């Protein structure tokens, strides 16, 4: 039992076995809304689970005959007469993962969420096991590959790797501004500074500052209104708050670390100059991979 789904068949491997299983299931009788449906869980208890169905897809010029294993009206697993198997991740969820995994148990499938994405592991449980990405909202077609399955057109995650030389060049353009922020941070009181600017900058907590439309270069001898606001924003978002419990209840301590100022500026620059700093690299086929640095890509 996985995620409380029971009574699912565990021997469906291709169109022939799925068609044979479909044909032997007696449709629900009567005149109710479920009349004529075939529950995929063919047990006394399982036939009550009409959210899990098996149905035959009519063939045509554009679509060969197929047997669909259906979860809440979505054909999550489709066994096609041409030998392919379609996995539908339109509605990604733990229930979808569990349903797909159970149906594909002949292939030792393991469907799970990793790194915020859906992945399916297929084949041998040890050295030769392959892992394939199932993007949200996508339908991926698999074909037999020995005793396992392999996507006909594998979906490959982009790994946005840092071009360190390009990043250093971008950071260097704003080094004087970083030095200015560091100098200001040494002469302010973090608590007073935070409270005085909280109303203006707190609602923009997830973005330090936008460097994408700079009206003029930074000049430490002539701090314009634009760069004054940029300095305030960078310092404000570098201030940390720590709540301590004492005899008189909670107290809040405000602190400011210089390394966080530099990090905040660099993070903003990564977003604004992502085309210069990052290089998209396709992940290796059949290997689990995280989509690194995607939060900086615009």
Q: How confident is the model at residue 153 (pLDDT cuts 50, 70, 90)?
A: very high
Quote the mean pLDDT of the chain: 88
User: Tens digit of pLDDT for each residue in 163-177?
Assistant: 999 999 999 999 999
Long-range CB pairs of 293-297 (<8 Å, 24+ gap) are 293/159, 293/160, 293/161, 293/162, 294/158, 294/160, 296/160, 296/267, 296/270, 296/271, 297/160
Contact by Cβ (8 Å): 105, 116: no
Q: How confident is the model at residue 254 (pLDDT cuts 50, 70, 90)?
A: very high
Residue 132: is its pLDDT beyond 50?
Answer: yes
* Cα 111 to Cα 109: distance, rounded to the nearest angstrom: 6
pLDDT number for residue 232: 92
User: Tens digit of pLDDT for each residue in 62-80?
Assistant: 788 999 999 999 999 999 9
* Cα 7 to Cα 41: distance, rounded to the nearest angstrom: 5
């Amino acid at each position: 039992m996985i995620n409380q789904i029971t009574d699912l068949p565990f021997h469906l491997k291709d169109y022939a076995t799925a068609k044979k299983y479909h044909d032997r299931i007696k449709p629900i009788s009567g005149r109710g809304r479920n009349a004529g449906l075939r529950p995929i869980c063919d047990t006394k208890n399982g036939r009550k689970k009409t959210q899990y169905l098996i149905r035959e897809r009519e063939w045509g010029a554009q679509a060969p005959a197929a047997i669909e294993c259906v979860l809440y009206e979505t054909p999550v697993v489709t066994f096609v007469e041409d030998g392919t198997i379609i996995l539908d991740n339109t509605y990604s969820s733990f229930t979808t993962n569990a349903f797909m995994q159970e149906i594909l148990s002949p292939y030792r499938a393991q469907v799970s969420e990793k790194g915020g994405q859906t992945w399916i592991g297929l084949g041998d449980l040890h050295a030769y096991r392959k892992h394939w990405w199932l993007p949200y909202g996508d339908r991926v077609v698999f074909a037999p590959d020995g005793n396992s399955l392999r996507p006909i057109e594998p979906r490959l995650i982009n790994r946005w790797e840092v071009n360190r030389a390009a990043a250093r060049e971008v950071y260097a353009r704003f080094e004087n501004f970083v030095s200015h922020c560091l100098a200001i941070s040494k002469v302010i009181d973090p608590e007073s500074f935070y409270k005085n600017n909280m109303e203006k900058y707190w609602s923009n907590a997830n973005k330090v500052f936008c460097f994408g439309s700079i009206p003029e270069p930074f000049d430490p001898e002539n701090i314009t209104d634009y760069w004054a606001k940029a300095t305030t924003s960078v310092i404000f978002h570098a201030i940390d708050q720590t709540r301590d419990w004492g005899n008189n209840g909670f107290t809040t301590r405000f602190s400011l670390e210089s390394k966080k100022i530099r990090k905040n500026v660099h993070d903003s620059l990564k977003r604004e100059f992502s085309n210069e700093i990052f290089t998209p690299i396709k992940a290796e086929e059949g290997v689990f991979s995280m989509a690194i640095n995607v939060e900086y890509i615009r």
